[in-house]
Chains A and B, each alone.
Chain A
Amino acid sequence: MDFPGLLAQLLNGVQYGLLLFLISSGLTLIFGVMGIINLAHGSLFMIGAYLAFLVARQWGTVWLALPAAVVGGILLGLLLERGLFRHFYARDHLDQVLLTFALILLFEEGRSLMVGNDFYSVPVPALFDFSVPITSGFSYSAYRFTVIGICLALAVLLFVWIERTKMGAIIRAAAEKPEMVDVLGIDARGVYMAVFALGTTLALVAGVLAAPLYSVYPNMGDGFLIISFVVVVIGGLGSVSGAFWSALVIGLVDTLGKAYVPKVAGLAVYVLMAAVLLWRPSGLFGQQRT
C-alpha cells in the first residue's frame, strides 16, 4: 500500500461520503418527521443529475443547474407533499412503499420519454476543469475539491438550521416525539412541507453535483438509494448528525474497500451495517427505543 495512493483514496472516500450525506439527510429527515420510507428519493437524485445534463447540453455549463435544482426541488417537494404524501401519513407502511415505488416507475419512464435511455457524460464546469497535484504522481480534480467544499458548506447550513432555529427545534421534536408537536399546538403541516421541500432539494442538488463525476444513465438513482438507506440505518433513523458521520464512514469503507480488497468491497458496507445493528440496534445516533 503506497502512501500517496492512500491519500487519494481517502479524498475519494470523503467526497463520496459527503455526497451520500446530501442524499441520506433528506431521506432520514423525511422518515424521522413523517414516518415515510421514500423509495423515490433515489429518483429525485436522478432527476437532479439529468437536470445538470440537460442544462449543460443547452448552455454548455452545469452551474445554472444549481439554482434550478434549488427552485425546482422546493417546488417539486411541495407538490409531492401536498398532492400525494399528505394523504398517506395515516396509511400503513405498505401503502407508502407502493406509492413511492410507483413514483420511481413514473420518474424513470418520464426520463426515458424525455431524454431516452442513453448513457451521457456531463462536462466538468470549465472554471474547475483543472487538477491539483497532491503527490508527485497523482493529481486530484479541482472539481472534486469543489464538491467536497459545497457539501461541507451545505452540511454546516443544515446543522445551523436544525440546531439553532425555531423551525429546527420543531423538526427535532417532531422527529423524536411526533405527538409533542401536536401537544404544543404547532401546525405540523407547515413543518412537513418544509422538511419535504428540504429533502427533495438536497437530493436534486446532490444529483447536479454528481452528474459530472458519475455521468448520467437510466436507474442511476437505485444504487445511491440503497447505499443511502444503509447510511440512514447505521446513523440512526431521523438523525441528521448520525447521517453525516455514517455517510463519511460508508464513503471511506466503500472506497478503500474497492481499492484495496476489491473482491469483498461490495459486501463490506453491508457487513458493517449488520455489525452496527447487532451492537446498537437503533444505529449510532438513533434514539434507543425500548
Chain B
Amino acid sequence: MTKSSTAMTRRSMLKTGAALAATSAVPTGWAIAQAKPLKVGLMLPYSGTFAKLGENITFAIEQLIAEKGGKLGGREIQIVKLDDESKPENAPQNADRLVKRDAVDVLIGTVHSGVQMGIHKVVSESGTLTIVPNAGNVAVTRNLCVKNVFRTSFTNWQPAYGMGLAAAKKGLKKGVWVTWDYAAGAESGAGFKEGFEKGGGEVLPNLVLPFPQTNFQPLLAQIPGLGVDVVGSFFAGGGAVQFVKEYAAAGLKTPLCGSGFLTEGTLEAQGAAAEGIETALHYGDGLDNAKNTAFRKAFKDKAGREADVYAVQGYDAAQLLAIGLEAVQGKIEDEANLYKAMRAAKIDSPRGSISISPSQEVTQNIYLRKAEGGLNKVIGIAAENLADPGTGCKLT
C-alpha cells in the first residue's frame, strides 16, 4: 500500500512537472510549429516483389529532404516507415496504424494498386495529406478523388494513350491491345484505344488472359489472323519478360509496342527479344536535362545503384510536399493554402517540368522510347504535357 501511494505521488509530481514545462514552452503558435518535427509516414513495400521499388522511392525522398537541409518549410522531418508488403488485405489496417497510432501529418504511399485502394479509403475519411508515388489506378484521381490526395507518378491511362497517339502518327491503321484481365490492363487498354483512334486508327477488342497467367500462345496464334498493323500491350515484371520473349519466338511480323512497363527493369532478362520495341512512359534513358543529370548522380552516390522511374516519382512526391510546406511555412494545419500551393505547383522534375492537373494528377510529357542495347532510349515525345482526363473528379 505504502509503496503504491508513493508511486502515485511520484507520478503526479512528474505530471505536474511536465505540465509546467509544457506551459513554459508555449509562447506562440508559430513556435509550436517550429519545435515539433513534422511526421511523414512512408507506407511502401519493403519486402516481396516490389521491395526494390519501395526502397528506391524511399532513397529519393530522403535525398530531397537532405538536399533541403533536413527541413521542409522550416520544419524538421521525422520519417516513419511501414512495410505494406504489397498486401491489399492488410492495407486498411496498415494505413489506419500510420494515421491514428503514429499520427502522421503526411502519408506517402504506395506502389501496389490494390493497397492504394485501402490507403485511399482510410485517408479519404481521416483527411490526411497523401501523396501517391507510384500506383496508377485511375479511380484515385477520377471518381474517388479527394482534396487531400495527390499523385506524382502516372495513371495507367497516360502512357498507353501516348503510345496510341505515337503509333497512329506512324500511319498505322489497325491495332489490338494484349493484356491481363484486370483493372490496370483495362485502364491501359482504354488509353491506347483513345490515343490510337484520335490519330485516326482503329482498335479491335482487347486480347486478354487471366492475371497472372502466362499462357500467351492462344493469344499470339490469333495475331496473324487479325490483320493488324500494330500490337500494343501492358504487362509488367516476370509476365512482361515472358510475353516479349514468346512474341519474338512466334516470329510475328507485326511490330510490338506498349506501356513503358513492358520493358522497364526487364530488358536484361528479355535480351535480344526486346531489341527495337517502342514503348511510352513519363521517363526514359538518356533524358538530357541538368536536373536529371544531377538527380541521377546524387541518387547513385546515396543508393549505390542507378535511379529509375520509381525513384523519380518518389523524389517528386517529396518535391511537391516541399512546395506545399514552404508556402505555409510548415503550418500543415493551414489546409486551404497548403492545397492551393500544391495544386499550383510547377515542379522541376528529373523527367522534365511537370505540373499538377485539376484532379491532382501529374501533367507531364509522355516520352516515346526504343529498347536498344539494354536501355530504353528516349527517341521523342509521344504526348506533350499530357494530363489524365480526371473523368468524374470535381475538385475546385
Contact = CB atoms under 8 A, between A and B. Distances in A.
A213 B251 CA distance: 17
Contacts of B215: 16, 213-214
Query: Which of the four size classes fits the interface of chain B?
Result: 20 to 34
Contact of A118 (B48, B217, B220, B252): B48
Given A118-B48, A121-B269, A138-B252, A8 B221 contact: yes
Contacts of B49: 117-119
B383 to A, nearest CB: 30
B303 interface: no
Given A2-B224, A119-B49, A214 B214 contact: yes
Given A121-B269, A215-B239, A215-B242, A116 B222 contact: no
Nearest to A9: B221
B119 interface: no
Interface string A1-39: 110110011001000100000000000000000000000
For A9, A118, A121, A140, which residue has the most chain B Cβ atoms within 10 angstroms?
A121
Interface residues of A, number: 35
B249 A139 contact: yes
Given A116-B48, A121-B242, A215-B238, A131 B221 contact: no
B218 interface: yes
A111 interface: no
A141 B242 CA distance: 13
Nearest to B266: A121
A119 B221 contact: no
A141 B224 CA distance: 16
Given A119-B238, A215-B239, A217-B212, A141 B249 contact: yes
For B217, B249, B253, which residue has the most chain A Cβ atoms within 10 angstroms?
B217
Given A12-B218, A137-B252, A139-B251, A2 B225 contact: yes
A255 B237 CA distance: 25
B122 interface: no
Given A2-B224, A135-B224, A121 B214 contact: yes
B204 interface: no
The 5 closest A-B pairs by CB, nearest first: A139-B251, A2-B225, A8-B221, A137-B224, A5-B225
26 contacts: A1-B225, A2-B225, A5-B221, A8-B217, A116-B48, A117-B48, A117-B49, A119-B237, A119-B238, A121-B239, A131-B249, A135-B224, A137-B251, A138-B250, A139-B250, A140-B250, A141-B246, A141-B249, A213-B214, A213-B215, A214-B213, A214-B214, A214-B215, A217-B238, A255-B218, A259-B218
